[in-house]
Amino acid sequence: MLWALFFAGVATFSQLYSVQSVLTSIASDFSISAAQAALTVSAATIGLALAVIPWSWVADRAGRKRTMTWAISAAVAFGLLVPLAPTFELMLVLRFLEGAALGGIPAIALVYLNEEVQRLHAAVAAGTYVAGTTIGGLSGRLVAGPAADLFDWRAGVLAASLMAALSAVAFVWLAPAPRRFTPVARGIGPKLSERILHNLRSPRQLGLYAQGFLLMGGFVAVYNYLGFRLELPPFGLPVAVISLLFLAYLAGTVTSRVAGTLAVRFGRLRVMLAGIPVIVIGLLITLTDSLPLVIVGLIVFTGGFFTVHSVAAGWTPRLTDVGRAQASSLYNFFYYAGSSLIGWIGGFFFGGFGWTGVVFFASALAIVAGLLAVSTLRGAPNQ
């Protein structure tokens, strides 16, 4: 199960964020601004955010593995077309469709996992899955960046899409057949709209959704615009070297897995809240003009973000008894809506106030997320 979901994470997130490491090249090729180039990331995450609820409906009827297989296959097909787009506008359309197809993976993965894995091990398993997604996000960026430096950004994105295709095959081969899935029959049980509204009326679920929306928005803003900063003096780094900074994702690989273990011992809320000051401290360290310290700050920031995200994502389907697939999909909706909207808005802070603006923008989002977690999740079942 975990190996299958690991490869699903690689296939999903290597495609979703491969363009992030070549944004400066895309901006140069199409003669557009940093904020416009970042729309290539936002287009895919908007598509994903809008698709997670429909995919959850399909999964309730067709089954978890079958739906994920359809989604991942469609995503690979669109991903292979993206680097062939002759215009920026067509590229955005293809990225939107690619993201919409990818919505079938995170929308279902944690529900699939929670249905098949014993409750005692669910938090650890969820942390392990999120750790796998960090490898996917890292690998897509690391493949696309150097390939773009050798050839162009199109070759870089194509290389990441081919890697995603191989990972999709591995997922289909390894994923076990569901044993505890019960299809939702037409006319039986709450309607889809009722399951969605049930979760949207829950203050605890809204508190978890706020973590995804605010923190992911700040996270994407940091990674979108850090490359533009590092191309400028006093750094002046090439694309291939900048893409290596995404190795900081490995901090998230570690902390996602550790957070799941710590949540079992100390409770989910305590572990989530511990990640907030780590995020802010990491961001403040990146304000320096010393490249080694920028790297340290990025590692600390990334580790803190994935600590909170892995706990919140795994906690979401546990805090509801109605519409677990929809609860998880709503988390993903807010998570990727934050990525699309706030990640793009960060460009205006970068354009107006430079890197300092991005840092204080993302820090404020983290502090608000922490306050909302305290106010909505205190007293919730922690295990």
Which stretch of DSSP H or E encloses residue 145?
helix 119-150
| Alpha-carbon gap, residue 219 to 50, rounded angstroms | 20
Nearest to 25 by CA among 78, 88, 99: 88
What is the overall mean pLDDT for the chain?
86
Question: Residue 47 half-sphere exposure, CB side, CA atoms within 13 Å?
Answer: 23
- The whole-number average pLDDT for the span 353-373 is 96
- Where do we find the tokens 């077309």? 81
What pTM was estimated for this model as a whole? 0.78
For residue range 242-258, what is the model confidence (pLDDT) as tens digits? Answer: 878 878 878 887 888 78
Residue 223 amino acid letter: Y
| Size of the chain in residues | 383
The domain defined by 2-175+192-377 folds into Growth Hormone; Chain: A; (1.20.1250)
The ranges assigned to domains in the chain are 2-175+192-377
**Alpha-carbon dihedral sign for residues 351, 352, 355, 360:** negative
DSSP 232: S
Which two structure tokens, joined as six digits, stand for 85?
């787009």
Lowest mean pLDDT among 82-86, 307-311, 319-323: 319-323
pLDDT computed for residue 140 by the predictor: 86
| Alpha-carbon gap, residue 260 to 158, rounded angstroms | 34
| Alpha-carbon gap, residue 171 to 126, rounded angstroms | 17
